[in-house]
Amino acid sequence: FEIRDIDTKNGLSTSVKYIVLPEETFGALVRRTNITNTGSDPVTISALDGLAKIEPVGGMLDWSLKNMGRTLEGWMGVYQAGEGTTMPFYRMSTEPGDTASVKIELAGHYLLSFLEKSNGDSTLLPVVYDSYAVFGRDTTLLEPDGLKVNSVKEILSKPQYGQARTSSAFAAIEKITLQPGESISIASFYGKADHVEAVKSIADTVTKEGYVQRKFVQARTMINALTSSVETNTTSHLFDGAVKQMFLDNSLRGGMPIILGDVDDDAKYRNYDEDDRVKVFHVFSRIHGDLERDYNAFFIDDTYFSQGHGNFRDVAQNRRDDVTFTPRVGSFDVQMFLSFIQADAYEPLTVEAVIYFINDPNVAAEISAETTGDAKSAEILTDVLNGGPFRPGQLFALIDQLGIKLTAPKEEFIDRIVAASTDLPMATYGQGYWGDHWDYYLDLVNSYLAIYPDGEEALMYDKKLRYFFSTATCKPRAEKYVLTLTFDGKSHHVLQLDSTVFDDDKVAEQNAFRSKKTGIVGFDASWQRTKDGGRAFESSPIAKLFLLGATKFATRDSYGMGVEYEGGRPGWNDAMNGLPGMIGSGMPETFEMYQLLKYVKKVVNKYGRPVTVPAEFAFMIAEVNAALDDLEASGFAEPEELPIDVPPQLFTYWDTVATAREEYRAKVKYYFSGETTDYTAEDLSVMIERWLGQIDVGIQRAIKIGSHGDDDDGKSGIPPSYFSYNVTSWEENGLTNDVGLPLVNAKAMAVGRFPLFLEGPTRYFKTVNEDKAAISTMYDKVKVSGLRDKDLNMYYVSATLKGQSYDMGRMMAFTPGWLENQSIWMHMSYKYYLELLRGKLYTQFFSEMRGGGMLPFMDPVQYGRSLMECSSFLASSVFPDPSDRGRGFSARLSGSTAEFLSIWKIIFIGSNPYFVDESGDLKFTLKPAIPAWMFKDDDANAADPTYDEHGFLTVSFKLFAHIPVTYHNSKGVDLFDVSPTGYKVTMQDGTENLVEGGVISTDLAQKIRRIWDVKSIDAYF
């Protein structure tokens, strides 16, 4: 990005540009300052250019910097990599700590600055690192008090001190004269090196003639290449640019899939499922990554193939359309995330990069011999490959550290290694069990099926997946229903507290895999196995989805409406952090469960194959069905007016089913027995159909009970999002929690209601996605409800929370209109808009989009930041300060980008470009949802329309990140859910395939999916 400053008084124009240094073995932030004399007279200047503050290297400093910054400075120092002050090296003496283990810090940050020369190599400038010399005692670092009394030359002539203080990093120019029109360019490299001795060689590299210019060109070229995957050309260049930025930001949060293992042409033409050599590795990913959130600390490896860990919910959403943009990904994402389903139907918090390992030592030795230049290198590389799992970046770092000499190019080498390896997903427990992590599986499955509908049976039945093994256990109710005083201390109530416990016995189980040499726990420790040293237990994906859906069905609340947040964490809206304590439940998860079970039923009906599940789970299912038999036999009938108190029959059913779930979890807490049970397709279908009926009843019951809030009588007909449950009768069970409070068994409950939240109708849309009238009716209801911000023409994340209990969570601590309290939460708004588009409410969707509900069509002045940049939230019209209303805050790499890309896919490709017809043949069709204004727009800011040789309007985009597609709109009308009248598919060899009608047959459809042989597609309407 670029910053400009115009000094009319002195006739100087200054611009500063930044890039991240691309394609080097060392990393750096590059700053390029250009100063131009725009006046008519010569100007003599002296300058300090750079950073007022730079932190040293010294381990994980985030907490220390925020909480004990002054004390931390005791470890800080500035060292020199050469003579003078041209190569300062900022590091800690040791990693700060107060333990018996002391680690000396060798790595540090460096600054290398120089004036770029038009011919010849550049010479390093001196650096001023003593912050006192520049700012004096102004700790705000706003006033250069030192520079006011000393010239740059005088500062450089005096000693500088960098010990026991936070230092600066300024390139210093003593004096230079610029003639009219003359410019200088100061290049500065701020980076990290593992040792001070590495800085000299870095300096030799970056000061070479033309190096800086080449890197700036290379950085722009790289960004263009990365975003060319979604190149889009409409009459709105702002929209076209936003698509690219959304794709880039989505990749930085969820990761960008890189295909490895292309060792020959056969591999190149195959996907992850078709060839064991083909692997998928995600680069660039990191947790959130938004620097405006002071509690976020993200990490990426400073290696080739750099990547970092991410939160489960984030990564699962942001990788939703991987297979759309990179079809060779195949079912990789589906398999990886379904592997993380645990026996208890929860998931870990943190997703890490996959690991690779070579099973056959002889293969490792063979590859090592063929890719290295000497016997010693081959021996060392063999030991590395046989030494345990690795990631590509780690492998290259070891190769450099150990001096291994490769003869093969790096790309060829890593393809060869990975092709011979086995991959395995990795994750870590983190904290708590969120109620919504599983909500995103079906999105991944549906995205896969939109490209590979012919791969469904093999994926669902023939793949085998492990079960993740976390170190935490979800407690049974008897160990987490706590009797405690109410807020006012006048009475008692029951809260659900400390729902998960860090399980020392599980840790002991994992320690069986700890290496005695390194102390590192092996990767097998993360997967649940059978007892007595058995192997990791595996099930088919359809079995895991059934286990998940059935367990969530068995976790419905006592009124049979929402899915309980019994794992200690809420769902998507994690500002409802108090809801689990209120024995809360969520309808969003019910709507997702309904869809999931419908999908499982569809699959078993379609393929008629049995489903094999763990025997312990089958026993739980039998108990659930028996309880349902008892409920039906009890004669319970839905009353006309639903009481707040849970009817006894429903409570008994809930208690019985919850007990069965807890008993199942106790059985599989550490191991599976290894025994299994088979369900026929018919039995499973009948069972699920019965459950779906119960869920339907629960949904209608929830809508009838409704929401409740200020100016909300619960009769809007809009699905509520959340419920809480007050235990009205209980008995102490003789147990106490960790702080001595008594634990109880619930005997009766009453339901509590909340105001409307946008998540409720958004997820509800999925249950009626084939009923356009139902979606339209619900849309109309939401638009006139308390969820609509009529001033901003957007949607609140919640209606007013006035009068609600602080027990519900931190959102109640926020000012209305701010953060999760009745603000415009961009991600949930985008989810809502996406469901409108999926429901084929095209007119309503584009009205919302262009009406300012979505980027880049918001008012830029009101939004207050780039229209290319998502925000966490916008302050809504109820926020007290009018100047902040509509302004975006906490710019972030968010889930909004995933929703935007899904919207882009429907607009330009359609929901399901591939399908299998009644004869079982694979077919391809493009069925866009493009409004006429993207072809031709009378708006003054619109770009000129483009036409083909026949005078037809055109719009173009890139399919599968490779194939240019041009739509020819002969009538200039909206292309909403219509197929072309014909296609021209041009191949790389120049041959043209003319297709009549809207459907492309199998052979050509497969070539399009494999991408390499297709040059372009023209579709005619």
For residue 532, what pLDDT is reported? 78
Mean pLDDT (whole number) for 41-54 = 95
For residue 287, what pLDDT is reported? 76
pLDDT tens for each residue of 15-29: 999 999 998 989 999
**Residue whose tokens read 């010849």:** 120
**Residue whose tokens read 């708590």:** 432
Residue 120 has pLDDT above 80, yes or no: yes
Residue 525 has pLDDT above 90, yes or no: no
Q: In this predicted structure, which of 55-64, 447-456, 466-475, 797-806 has the lowest mean pLDDT?
A: 55-64
Mean pLDDT (whole number) for 967-974 = 98
For residue 63, what pLDDT is reported? 82
Cβ atoms of 788 and 747 closer than 8 Å: no
Token code pair at residue 107: 């790595």
For residue 64, what pLDDT is reported? 87
SS3 85: coil
How far apart are alpha carbons 758 and 789 in whole angstroms? 12
Residue 533 has pLDDT above 80, yes or no: no
SS3 507: helix
Burial class of 742 by CB neighbour count within 10 A (0 to 12, 13 to 18, 19+): middle
Q: How confident is the model at residue 71 (pLDDT cuts 50, 70, 90)?
A: very high
Residue 801 has pLDDT above 70, yes or no: yes
For residue 511, what pLDDT is reported? 80
Q: What share of the chain in percent tops pLDDT 90?
A: 89
Cβ atoms of 12 and 37 closer than 8 Å: yes
DSSP string, 165-192: S-EEEEEEEEEEEE-TT-EEEEEEEEEE
Q: How confident is the model at residue 518 (pLDDT cuts 50, 70, 90)?
A: low
pLDDT tens for each residue of 708-739: 999 999 999 999 999 999 999 999 999 999 99
Q: In this predicted structure, which of 234-238, 301-305, 414-418, 815-819 has the lowest mean pLDDT?
A: 301-305
Residue 509 has pLDDT above 90, yes or no: no
Q: Say which DSSP state 18 is in.
A: E
pLDDT tens for each residue of 581-620: 999 999 999 999 999 999 999 999 999 999 999 999 999 9
- Using CA atoms, how far residue 361 sits from 248, 391, 396, 710, 908, in Å, is 39, 18, 19, 69, 48
pLDDT tens for each residue of 85-110: 999 999 999 999 888 889 999 999 99
Mean pLDDT (whole number) for 996-1006 = 98
Mean pLDDT (whole number) for 350-375 = 95
pLDDT tens for each residue of 618-632: 999 999 999 999 999
Residue 289 has pLDDT above 60, yes or no: no
pLDDT tens for each residue of 434-448: 999 999 999 999 999
**Residue whose tokens read 């759309």:** 324
For residue 690, what pLDDT is reported? 98
Token code pair at residue 663: 């008993």
pLDDT tens for each residue of 676-703: 999 999 999 999 999 999 999 999 999 9
Mean pLDDT (whole number) for 340-345 = 98
Cβ atoms of 42 and 177 closer than 8 Å: yes
What's the mean per-residue pLDDT of the chain?
A: 95
86 CB neighbour count, 10 Å cutoff: 21
Cβ atoms of 806 and 812 closer than 8 Å: yes
Cβ atoms of 587 and 702 closer than 8 Å: yes
Residue 832 has pLDDT above 90, yes or no: yes
Distance of alpha carbon 117 from its chain centroid, rounded?
43
For residue 521, what pLDDT is reported? 63
In 3D space, the residue among 35, 50, 10 whose CA is nearest the CA of residue 184 turns out to be: 35
pLDDT tens for each residue of 945-954: 999 999 999 9
Token code pair at residue 841: 């409410």
Return the HEC string of 592-633.
HHHHHHHHHHHHHHHHCCCEEEEHHHHHHHHHHHHHHHHHHH
Cβ atoms of 18 and 50 closer than 8 Å: no
pLDDT tens for each residue of 861-914: 999 999 999 999 999 999 999 999 999 998 777 899 999 999 999 999 999 999
Token code pair at residue 519: 């102390």
List, in order, residues 6 or more apart from 674 with CB less than 8 Å away.
530, 531, 534, 537
In 3D space, the residue among 869, 969, 783, 700 whose CA is nearest the CA of residue 290 turns out to be: 869
pTM of the model: 0.95
User: 286 phi and psi, to 5 degrees?
Assistant: -160, 160
List, in order, residues 6 or more apart from 715 with CB less than 8 Å away.
706
514 CB neighbour count, 10 Å cutoff: 13
How far apart are alpha carbons 728 and 708 in whole angstroms? 20
* Residue count of the chain: 1021
Residue 565 has pLDDT above 60, yes or no: yes
More confident residue, 2 or 300: 2
Residue 415 has pLDDT above 70, yes or no: yes
Residue 817 has pLDDT above 90, yes or no: yes
Pinpoint the alpha helices (H) of 729-795.
Answer: 759-767, 772-783
For residue 284, what pLDDT is reported? 86
Q: How confident is the model at residue 822 (pLDDT cuts 50, 70, 90)?
A: very high
